[in-house]
Amino acid sequence: MKLLITGGCGFIGSNFIYYILDKYPNYKIINLDALTYAGNLENLKKIENNPRHEFIKGDIGDKKLANKLVKDIDIIVHFAAESHVDRSILNSSDFIKTNINGTHILLEAAKDNGRKRFHHISTDEVFGSLEPNEPAFSESTSYDPHSPYSASKASSDHLVRAYFHTYNLPITISNCSNNYGPYQFPEKLMPLFITNLMEGKKVPIYGDGKNIRDWLYVEDHCQAIDKIIHNGKIGETYCVGGNSEKTNLEITHEILKIMGKKEDEIEYINDRLGHDKRYAIDFSKIKRELGWQPKISFKEGIEKTVEWYKNNQSWWKDIKSGEYKNYYKKQYGK
């Protein structure tokens, strides 16, 4: 089996590549990544000489390159996306270009080169926001995106489904909750807070910190994708959740506890524009049909995550001292 992984130098993509190469000794991977700010070849340093992994620096928006690569593969697993809500609020242009136009070009390549199997990685944010007592998102939940990021992902989801219905392209889609774990770019909540505390800085919490997210350890997510691409029903969507609803404040207190820090390390800042109140995932479909459920508890997952960032300080320090430093300063004023 030969896979084209888009965005394989990003957080989830790089974890998935390690997972696949470890589990399937006969699989080969073509990794297409433009190496924008969150794409980092250092994420895959352990396999830089592995003959079963070929990295190609390129843009999913390059039609010629997309057609060339898709021609010789069996399945596309599409991770590549601009993914940070705050960045989409500051400037949404790249989100439209990559998440919508880039996905369209890949779909065209898949259609025109033998209707290749296509799995699309999406997010629970396309469903909008839940009140505290509302039922969790499921595959039948109506779309109601609230940010330019989630709107661009919702658009790409609709495109993928349209190619199934119109062109009979063999697709599946997964909508996942918040991932965390190794190699996550330090603009997201957990790595930002962990690395800030290691640098003696405050942890910035939006608003009152009561916004709720469901948290999924990245290794569990990789296992879910594995199940879907091999056994998922063509044309179907699968919601993938971690069964770990936590407020941002609860996450913060857990990180402070693990790292031996006190609550005065918290700095409350103005709330994010259009900040969704709650996300939650009902993953009963993938559990029922494919036998998947998260294996790693939140306690175990967050402890492993803190430990990874402690043991890989050169990785995140290089990032935070470069391009991200300017973004962080603009976003948080320091």
Any idea which residues carry the catalytic annotation?
Answer: 124-125, 149
Give me 223's structure tokens: 């296992």
Identity (one letter) of the amino acid at 286? I
Beta bridge mates, 91? none
Distance CA 123, CA 174 (A): 7
| CA of residue 173 relative to chain centroid, distance | 13
Distance CA 57, CA 35 (A): 7
Rg (CA), the chain: 19
- The three-class DSSP label of residue 120 is strand
68, 74 Cβ separation under 8 angstroms:
no
Please state, as a whole number, how many other Cβ atoms lie within 10 Å of the Cβ of residue 82: 24
Q: Are strands 212-217 and 178-180 parallel, antiparallel or unpaired?
A: parallel
Identity (one letter) of the amino acid at 103? T
Instruction: Of 64, 150, 191, 163, give the one whose Cα is nearest residue 107.
Output: 163
107, 163 Cβ separation under 8 angstroms:
yes
In Å, what is the CA distance from 85 to each residue of 150, 187, 195, 280? 8, 10, 20, 17
